[in-house]
Amino acid sequence: METAQLLTQKPPKKINLKGLWIEDLERLLRELGEKRYRARQLASWIYAKGATEFDQMTDFPKKLRKKLSQIASIDSIKLVKKQVSPKDFSEKYLFELSDGEKIETVLMREGKRVTVCLSTQVGCPLGCTFCATGKMGFKRNLTTGEIVDQILALRRERITHLVLMGMGEPLLNYDNVLKALRIINHELGLSFAGKAITLSTAGIPPMIRKLAEENLRIGLAISLNAPTDEKRDQLMPINRKYPLKELIASVRYFKQRVKRRVTFEYVLIKEINDFKKDAQTLSQLLQGLPCKINLIPYNRVPDLPYQRSSEEKILAFRDYLYPRCPVVTLRLSKGEDILAACGQLRTQS
């Protein structure tokens, strides 16, 4: 080969280990002629201890560290911007991914509870008409590493809870999300108990049933937002494919298998879904299903025509539902002033 050709030849791309789990690492180490147990050590260094350089792995012989650094890397997403709400101190982080795409991650504080809201896709393909992310359209799925890295980037914050409720529909990125959940849940990974994790979905019944079989014991939240197919079709186009009857049947199945109370999120939008009749239909729809209803006053999204229900309507809606439904909470969204609240995430900068 000519010298000029050699000089312009790109070096082979290194394997990013972030996102690989024990079985993948075992395969890689086997190819390097290393013992199997090293994979568990390597996983623990990357996820539990948050190592970003092979030289930090002090219980690995120097030879192995060198071998690894020649073929692999531990890449991180890049923090571009952090905004803090002066009102409630919630924080919105803008991260840049290796291909230049951007995502947002939100951190909320409530006493000792620190919850991080993770994104799972760049944009979202479901196009809910009230949601800023839906308006962005869909760019791509996040990799397992990019999902987990949002937590690693904020690990100093003593996170207690995780919600998969940021940009994207987690169940449409099933394999990467599931692998991320296994890493997040495992003691060699990030050690979050299933009860500290909630996955929120717009409602993809076959995937809800699949998730119920995974033995993860995580919580499930359904972004419901309307009590009839007619109204839900308007707000959430996915309902035309999977109407309420099919969605609720899959939620019952999840409840039965996982034995955890499911949460229904209901965003209250002025004169769209906040009538007394809506509250009545909602309580009938969820009758006999042990669940929690979380009412969320709509958060403004620039360029969208919807408005928040009046306080009077919000309280009347809640008071009709409770005690007809066992647990009803009224969630005052955090981070509204920095557009970090539910349905407001959209990468602008």
What are the residues binding ligand SF4 (CB under 6 A)? Answer: 124, 126-128, 131, 133-134, 167-169, 202, 223, 343
Provide the 3-class DSSP secondary structure of residue 132: helix
**Hey, what are 268's tokens?**
């209250």
Catalytic residue selected from 124, 128, 291, 342: 342
User: Annotated catalytic, 325?
Assistant: no
Where would I find the beta strands (DSSP E) of 218-311? 219-223, 262-268, 291-297
Q: Which residues pair with 294 in a beta bridge?
A: 265, 329
Distance CA 31, CA 24 (A): 11
Residues 107, 82 contacting (CB under 8 angstroms): no
User: Closest separation between CB of residue 130 and ligand SF4, Å?
Assistant: 7
Q: Which is nearer to ligand SF4, 115 or 173 (CB)?
A: 173
User: Closest separation between CB of residue 81 and ligand SF4, Å?
Assistant: 20
Residues 285, 244 contacting (CB under 8 angstroms): yes
Q: Which is nearer to ligand SF4, 29 or 207 (CB)?
A: 207
Q: Which is nearer to ligand SF4, 19 or 170 (CB)?
A: 170
User: Closest separation between CB of residue 57 and ligand SF4, Å?
Assistant: 38
The residue nearest ligand SF4 at its CB is: 134
**Hey, what are 184's tokens?**
């997040």
Q: How far is CA 130 from the centre of its chain?
A: 19
User: Closest separation between CB of residue 15 and ligand SF4, Å?
Assistant: 31
Catalytic residue selected from 91, 104, 265, 336: 104
User: Annotated catalytic, 91?
Assistant: no
Q: Number of helices (H) and strands (E) in the chain: give both, helices first.
A: 13, 14
Residues 130, 157 contacting (CB under 8 angstroms): no
Q: Which is nearer to ligand SF4, 44 or 239 (CB)?
A: 239
Among all residues, which ones are annotated catalytic? 104, 342
